[in-house]
Amino acid sequence: MIRWQQFAQLFLFILLVILTWKVPNHPFIKDGAFITVSKQNDSLYKEIEQKAKQYDEKPEDAYIDDVWKKTPGRNGVKVNINKSYKKMMKKGMFDESYLVFDEIPPQQSLKDLAASPIYRGHPKKEMVAFLINVSWGTEHVPKILHTLKNNHVKATFFIEGKWAKEHVDYVRMIAEQGHTIGNHAYNHPDMARMSKQEIESQIVQTNEILHSITEKEPKWFAPPSGSYSNLVVATAHQLKMETILWTVDTIDWKKPSVSVMLNRVMNHIHPGATILMHPTPVIENGLEQLIELIKAEGYRIGTIDELLSEKR
């Protein structure tokens, strides 16, 4: 009799566990497992499945353009049907805004391409990058950093090696605030006129100085005044660095008014733009307004790393 009661209690316990088992929320069930079981007869799932293809986009490989030279690729997108279905189940109907996408990387990236300068990000990427070349204008750096911080913007500072040696605290401050630091040669030479040995010395010496301050190895190189030759680009490439130029120039060194600088940039801005500037009075005074105007046009502002990434 006691044995029969024990068996009955065990049976009731198992039955209770089965009845209270919540499959979709169980920690050992992967996302979508329960959905896979029930999707066969679900019209919403089938509707998402049918419409998904119209939202899919193939990834685009990095390539070398005849004019714009090395150009980054762009991730494709594919609808994640199970995750989209899970979100839409709560609404009970198809809603485009509830679609969940996975990014699909291209087969060829920038690193797979031959040596070539880079002028811009992907031409469909709604992002721009500030390139701030620093070899003078020290007194304007603190205000520029303050403006960038207040507006939650990260920029790319290309720093001359000689300047970095003399302004270690500023270099460290730039790095600590999350900006990207690139190499701007050692003493602002005309690199197009230099030998391979001289080019390499300018880049390596500056990398060593910047690394000693930030403990990070720069991977982006901006030749002073944009003066470069194929030898400069090839040498940087051998040092595992990309040569960065620009598509929009503030021409701040000509001392324009703030309104002239703003009009110049906004008349030439485009998806994937690289915007050249220096620590000058016009940038110090006009940077906040420039950020507001760029954001109002729907662009994000990021570092050169973000701009040249394949992320959408």
Q: What is the pLDDT of residues 149-208, one digit of tens each?
A: 999 999 999 999 999 999 999 999 999 999 999 999 999 999 999 999 999 999 999 999
What is the average pLDDT across 107-115? 97
% of the chain residues with pLDDT over 90: 85
**262 versus 15: which is more confidently predicted?**
262
Please, which pLDDT band fits residue 92 given cuts at 50, 70 and 90?
A: confident
CATH class of 115-308: alpha beta
- In the numeric block, which tokens belong to residue 306? 């973000």
What is the average pLDDT across 105-111? 97
pLDDT at residue 25 greater than cutoff 80? no
pLDDT at residue 27 greater than cutoff 50? no
What is the average pLDDT across 220-233? 98
Average pLDDT, the chain: 91
Least confident of 58-67, 81-90, 229-238, 248-257: 81-90
What is the average pLDDT across 277-296? 98
Where are the domain boundaries for CATH 3.20.20.370 in the chain?
115-308
Tens-digit pLDDT profile for residues 49-82: 999 999 999 999 999 999 999 999 999 999 999 9
